[in-house]
Amino acid sequence: MGNAIHTPAKDFFTVINERQSTRKYDPNVSISKEELREIIELAGKAPSAWNLQHWHFVIIHGKEAQQRLYPIAYHQQQIVDASAVIAVLGDLEANRNTDAVYDPLVNEGVMATEIKERIAQQIEAAYKNKEYVRDAAFSNASLAAMQLMLAATAKGWATCPIGGFNAEQFKQEFHISDRYIPVMLITIGKSIAPARRTTRLPIEAITTWVER
């Protein structure tokens, strides 16, 4: 399979305006692990509650692995034609990241131990609420997913977020721990057809101004 030519990074506003959901990919174009790692690293810079980084990425890279995903995603052709598929998972136990996130700051003298302990208490209190846990997993992982698609667009790749797949079958097939909940799949590759034309609601329909 041919390797895609590296595309220089684009202006941010160009990226925003160019990003569209692409469903038809060139099956002969591959993407390297190195470039996927770069995109994932950029996605991981997304904001998250308490900086707990409530996401995990399963990279399905290679036609054999993508064929395993194909029936789970209801036989959508883009699953096998794309250069890779990235499953974005939400972390239902992101509170377990507390020490890994905050201990380096304490050790460097950037944060006082007392502040870290206060934050840890807030986190543990929040994680007693099961509804919050699930909502946080979805909302924070979705921030990383959007950032992943923008990063891919900036590097010249097309993407498409997919919610249509069997989450339980996905977990079984790819041996996903119950710590994680599948949020979406993202196909990535080189487009061979224009994205489907879409329209956007007028700004008046999606905004409410509160000025007093």
Q: Is the pTM of this model over 0.75?
A: yes
In a domain, residue 100? The reply is no
pLDDT score for 8: 58
Q: For residue 39, tell me if it sits in a domain.
A: yes
The residue type of 145 is: A
Residue 117, token pair as written in the block: 């302990």
Q: 129 in a domain, yes or no? A: no
Give the end-to-end CA distance of the chain in Å, rounded to a whole number.
60
* pLDDT tens digits, one per residue of 172-200: 999 999 999 999 999 999 998 877 788 88
What domain count does the chain have?
A: 1
Q: Classify residue 174: in a domain, yes or no.
A: yes
Domain range enclosing 154: 2-88+140-206
pLDDT in tens, 36-67: 999 999 999 999 999 999 999 999 999 999 99
| Domain CATH number, residue 65 | 3.40.109.10
Per DSSP bridges, beta strands 29-30 and 180-189 are unpaired
Is residue 97 in a domain? no
Q: Which helix (H) or strand (E) holds 183?
A: strand 180-189
Q: Does the residue 121 lie in any domain?
A: no
Q: How many CA atoms lie within 13 A of 181 on its CB side?
A: 17
